[in-house]
C-alpha cells in the first residue's frame, strides 16, 4: 500500500505569510495527487488536483507543485479564512486507492 | 449546480443496522463515480469505497471491505452506505463525494463536490 505522510502536522502563521505544506508518498505516484481544505465543521473542498492544477473558483494564492514522491502545497498572502486542516490525497485508479494524508492543521 | 444532499444524523445502538443516503442533483448522476469517506471524531479522512451508479461497479478500500456495503439506485439518483451490525467504532461523520475526471498524466478522479456529511453515533 502507498502511504502519504504530510509535514508538518501543525502550522501556525500570520496574516500575509507564505506557508508550505509537504506531502511525501511511499512510492512514485507521478502527478496523481490532490489537495483539499477542510474548515472546522465543514466538508472538505477540492483545491488542487494533478499536483498543480488549480480547481475552478479557488483563489490563486493557493498553488501546488511536485511529482513522483514529493509534493507541496503553498499558500501565499495568508488570509484569516485560510484557517483549516489541509489534506493531500492520492488519485490512483488501478487498483483504486484514494488514501489521504493525515492532515496539516493551519492556525492563523 | 451540482448538489449532494445526505440524510440526517443517526443515533444507533451496537448491533443495529443502518443505511445512510446521498442524493445527487444538478448533473448526470450515472456518469460520475460517487465515493464515501469516513472521518472519526477529531481524526483525518479515510476513503471507504467508490461506486459507478450506471452499472453499480463498486470498489472498496480493503480496510472497509466486508464492513460496509455501498450501493446506488440510479432511478432516484441516490447512493448509499449500509451496515448490518454497527459497532461503537463506527461512530463518525460520513461524507459522500462526486469523482470528476481530470488529467494527471492519465485519467484521474479528484473528489470535486461533497455532501454536507451524516453524523452517525453508535452508543449503548
- The tens-digit pLDDT sequence of chain B (124 residues) is 999 999 999 999 999 999 999 999 999 999 999 999 999 999 999 999 999 999 999 999 999 999 999 999 999 999 999 999 999 999 999 999 999 998 898 899 999 999 999 999 999 9
pLDDT digits (tens, 9 = 90+) for A62-92: 999 999 999 999 999 999 999 999 999 999 9
Asked if A33 and B104 come within 8 Å (Cβ–Cβ), the reply is yes
For residue A103, count CB atoms less than 10 angstroms from its CB and return exposed for 0-12, middle for 13-18, buried for 19 or more.
buried
Please tell me if residue A10 touches chain B, with a CB cutoff of 8 Å: no
Q: Please list every residue in chain B whose beta carbon sits closer than 8 Å to the beta carbon of residue A34.
A: 110-111
Q: How do beta strands B10-12 and B118-122 pair?
A: parallel
> Which pLDDT score, from 0 to 100, does residue A95 have?
87
pLDDT digits (tens, 9 = 90+) for A10-48: 999 999 999 999 999 999 999 999 999 999 999 999 999
Comparing CA positions, the residue from B73, B62, B68 lying closest to residue B92 is B68
Please tell me if residue B116 touches chain A, with a CB cutoff of 8 Å: yes
Mutate: best of B63, B98, B106, B108, partner A, most A CBs <10 A: B108
* Cα Rg of chain B (Å, integer): 14
The greatest distance separating any two alpha carbons of chain B, rounded to the nearest whole angstrom, comes to 49
Asked if A50 and B45 come within 8 Å (Cβ–Cβ), the reply is no
Size of interface A-B (CB pairs under 8 A): 77
> Which pLDDT score, from 0 to 100, does residue B114 have?
98
pLDDT digits (tens, 9 = 90+) for A5-18: 999 999 999 999 99
d(CA B21, CA A58): 28
Asked if A98 and B95 come within 8 Å (Cβ–Cβ), the reply is no
Please tell me if residue B94 touches chain A, with a CB cutoff of 8 Å: no
d(CA A9, CA A12): 10
Please tell me if residue A44 touches chain B, with a CB cutoff of 8 Å: yes
Amino acid at each position: 500500500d502507498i502511504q502519504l505522510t504530510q509535514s508538518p502536522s501543525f502550522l501556525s502563521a500570520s496574516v500575509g505569510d507564505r506557508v508550505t505544506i509537504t506531502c511525501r508518498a511511499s512510492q512514485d505516484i507521478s502527478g496523481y495527487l490532490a489537495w483539499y481544505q477542510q474548515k472546522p465543521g465543514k466538508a472538505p473542498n477540492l483545491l488542487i488536483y494533478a499536483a498543480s492544477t488549480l480547481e475552478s473558483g479557488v483563489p490563486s494564492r493557493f498553488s501546488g507543485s511536485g511529482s513522483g514522491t514529493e509534493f507541496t502545497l503553498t499558500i501565499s498572502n495568508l488570509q484569516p479564512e485560510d484557517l483549516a486542516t489541509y489534506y493531500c490525497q492520492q488519485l490512483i485508479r488501478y487498483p483504486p486507492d484514494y488514501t489521504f494524508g493525515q492532515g496539516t492543521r493551519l492556525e492563523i | 449546480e451540482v448538489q449532494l444532499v445526505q440524510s440526517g444524523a443517526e443515533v444507533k445502538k451496537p448491533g443495529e443496522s443502518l443505511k445512510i443516503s446521498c442524493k445527487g442533483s444538478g448533473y448526470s448522476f450515472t456518469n460520475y463515480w460517487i465515493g464515501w469517506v469516513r472521518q472519526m471524531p477529531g481524526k483525518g479522512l479515510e476513503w471507504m469505497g467508490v461506486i459507478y451508479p450506471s452499472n453499480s461497479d463498486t470498489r472498496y478500500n480493503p480496510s472497509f471491505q466486508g464492513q460496509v456495503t455501498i450501493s446506488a439506485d440510479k432511478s432516484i439518483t441516490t447512493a448509499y452506505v449500509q451496515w448490518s451490525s454497527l459497532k461503537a467504532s463506527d461512530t463518525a461523520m460520513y461524507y459522500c463525494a462526486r469523482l470528476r475526471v481530470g488529467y494527471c498524466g492519465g485519467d484521474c478522479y479528484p473528489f470535486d463536490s461533497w455532501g454536507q456529511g451524516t453524523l452517525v453515533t453508535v452508543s449503548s
